[in-house]
Structure 1
Amino acid sequence: MSTRGATARPVRRTTAARRPPARRPSSRRRPAGGGGRGAPGGTWRSWLPLGLVALVVLGVVALVRNTAGPEPVALTGSCTVAGTGLELSAEQAASAATIAAVGRVRGLPQRAVVIALATAQQESTMRNLDYGDRDSLGLFQQRPSQGWGSPEQVTDPVYAAGQFYDGLVEVRGWETRRLTEAADAVQRSAFPEAYQKHAALAEQLTAALTADEPGRLDCRYEPPVPGGRLSQRVTSVAAVVERELGATTTERFGAVEVDPAAGWPTATWAVAHAERLGLRSVSFAGSQWTPVEGWGPADAGPDTVRLELSR
């Protein structure tokens, strides 16, 4: 709490008469080092609680590292949307896929996703920015000082998209209003008409990310040499899938399988995030994608969305 403008409190001075009498020095001599037997500073029993605390902290850190998702990497790939002239960076495709996934999980119509994607394109070109006007941050350039959340929250794409949708559904008649009017009612931009110019891009992206068919999004990149234990990476990928898609996953050796009810939108989401997740293939319903060859036929296998990790 700020103390600017507050009245200073008077300092109470203690007189000598109020001081307690000086204590006589003890005649007992303390052992050198301040402790008894064992390590200097105390017995081994006095150190035991600190050791247990340290073990617990290390365990929590390891758990977070194993479940919080893959380590951030610099994305170098590019993506195209079939039947359009759209080309996106891997970062933009991943951001768009997350925004669409959050909308689907919330049961919102495609119109909501279109408005959200157009907004993110205007605010950040669908990049998770760590800077902006004043304290604006993230995909939607949300300001922590205006109640959108902490800096860590508004730079979390899942949280940021959820905050935008929360605001959008509170706008009266958002489903039928002009895109730019609905977006600005949430964002309160200094340029309220700016969102409309991204309507066509947002509609094409939404159609590709929510289509119930293969090959609508194709991303290519050179697979890097993976790092870390394979089992830990599988667990991390499963955690990301469950958080963003709300889907049930099964961890296999070197792969994550997703409930087939998730369908093609989940396979498309996985392709958009493949470089971030370190995937070497995505397969579903007789089709398979790889980062080098793109989409093609695949041998019949389990009727699940299968995310195979690089090894």
Structure 2
Amino acid sequence: MRRLLIAGVVTACVAVLVVIALVIAAVVRGGQVAIPALPAPLKPEECNIKIGSDTAELTLEQGQHSSTIAAIGFLRGDGVRGVTVALATALQESKLENTPGGDRDSVGLFQQRPSQGWGTPAQLADPRYAANAFYRRLETVDNWQSKPVAQAAQAVQRSADGSAYAGWEPEATTLATAYSGQTAGAVTCLTRNSHSTSALGEDLRRDLRADLGSAASFALGPGNAAGVPSLRVSAKPAGADLQTYRRIEFWLVAHAQEYRVATVAYRDVKWTATDGTWKALPTADPTGHIVVTFT
């Protein structure tokens, strides 16, 4: 058996050497050896956040959770500063992943503890509940707006090492500024696969309202080839500024995988899930709606 194995190995080696010799001979004679072209690598499914020269790369899950945290902070009126504190905290505590457990009885994005009065484990596993709980406590901290980010976060969390939040301040600031809607195209995500229920439009409308309150109104538009209707979103009140519309746009982009969003278009720009970019439209839509289509 051992001799057969050795013989097989020797035969295989000889075959490889023969192939190599033939290739070398062809090259020496000036012949061409056909080498199959490698397929271009697929771009990763992820979210890219960019403000000026500052960038952040997030997984789709991180993009979804960071968008929710930001939207709720803006809805509560805590502004870019408050959202920065919340995102720096969540980045340190969970890396923006909704973890089911942690140190002792810690739960969720902010690793909040039921034993410390934050809520039940089920409540804290809900990103919206967890974000609101964080902001409620932040808003009770005296002069939190003027405190360094790490100090404000520590006043809420009371962790073992409050200085750790400072390391996340640059990324949190980039995310908060992007989600505020100050800059066009600041939030892009690329997604190919979607995981959602069949009630796409209804789920999206429910959760968009939960994160942005009454800042948006909705109307169903024409369906696609599969019969799934598009969704038309308008900011409220009528005549809302461009920054408000961008906040809604970026929320939709960051949640695209969850709700099987294929495109988001507003006036003269359009984002597409499969290439993850914003592009100019040849003709602007004068209706003032954000038009959302689904896969």
The TM-score normalised by the length of structure 1 is: 0.71
Question: Contact 1:235/1:251 (CA < 8 Å) preserved in 2?
Answer: no
Larger mean Cα displacement after TM superposition, 296-305 or 140-149:
296-305
Tell me the equivalent position of 2:224.
Answer: none
Larger mean Cα displacement after TM superposition, 171-180 or 241-250:
241-250
Tell me the equivalent position of 1:185.
Answer: 155
Question: Contact 2:181/2:245 (CA < 8 Å) preserved in 1?
Answer: no
Task: Note if 1:240 corresponds to 2:207.
Answer: yes
Question: Contact 2:55/2:174 (CA < 8 Å) preserved in 1?
Answer: no
User: How far apart are the structure 2 equivalents of 1:201 and 1:238?
Assistant: 29
Tell me the equivalent position of 1:255.
Answer: 230
Identity %: 35
Tell me the equivalent position of 2:290.
Answer: 305
Tell me the CA shift for residue 228 of structure 1.
5.3
| Structure (1/2) with the larger strand percentage | 2
Tell me the CA shift for residue 208 of structure 1.
0.9
Larger mean Cα displacement after TM superposition, 207-216 or 182-191:
207-216
Tell me the CA shift for residue 163 of structure 1.
0.6
Q: 1:303 to 1:141 in 2, by over 3 A?
A: same
Tell me the equivalent position of 2:12.
Answer: none
Q: 1:309 to 1:81 in 2, by over 3 A?
A: same
Q: Which of 246, 249, 253 pairs up with 1:271?
A: 253
Tell me the CA shift for residue 292 of structure 1.
1.7
Tell me the CA shift for residue 277 of structure 1.
1.3
Q: 1:228 to 1:118 in 2, by over 3 A?
A: closer
Task: Note if 1:286 corresponds to 2:252.
Answer: no
Tell me the equivalent position of 1:88.
Answer: 58
SS at match of 2:232: strand
The residue correspondences of 1:150-161 to structure 2 (distance < 5 A) are 150-161=120-131
Task: Note if 1:128 corresponds to 2:98.
Answer: yes
User: How far apart are the structure 2 equivalents of 1:185 and 1:84?
Assistant: 27
Tell me the CA shift for residue 192 of structure 1.
1.2
Question: Contact 2:196/2:258 (CA < 8 Å) preserved in 1?
Answer: no
Tell me the equivalent position of 1:99.
Answer: 69
User: How far apart are the structure 1 equivalents of 2:99 and 2:196?
Assistant: 26
Tell me the CA shift for residue 149 of structure 1.
0.8
Larger mean Cα displacement after TM superposition, 292-301 or 185-194:
292-301
Question: Contact 1:94/1:273 (CA < 8 Å) preserved in 2?
Answer: yes
Tell me the equivalent position of 1:139.
Answer: 109
Tell me the equivalent position of 1:29.
Answer: none
Tell me the CA shift for residue 134 of structure 1.
1.1
Residue-pair matches, total: 232
Q: Residue type of the partner of 1:256?
A: L
Tell me the CA shift for residue 227 of structure 1.
6.8
CA deviation map 1:260-293 (0-9, x unaligned): 3341111011111111111001111211101123
Tell me the CA shift for residue 214 of structure 1.
2.4
User: How far apart are the structure 1 equivalents of 2:132 and 2:196?
Assistant: 31
Tell me the CA shift for residue 235 of structure 1.
1.1
SS at match of 1:112: helix
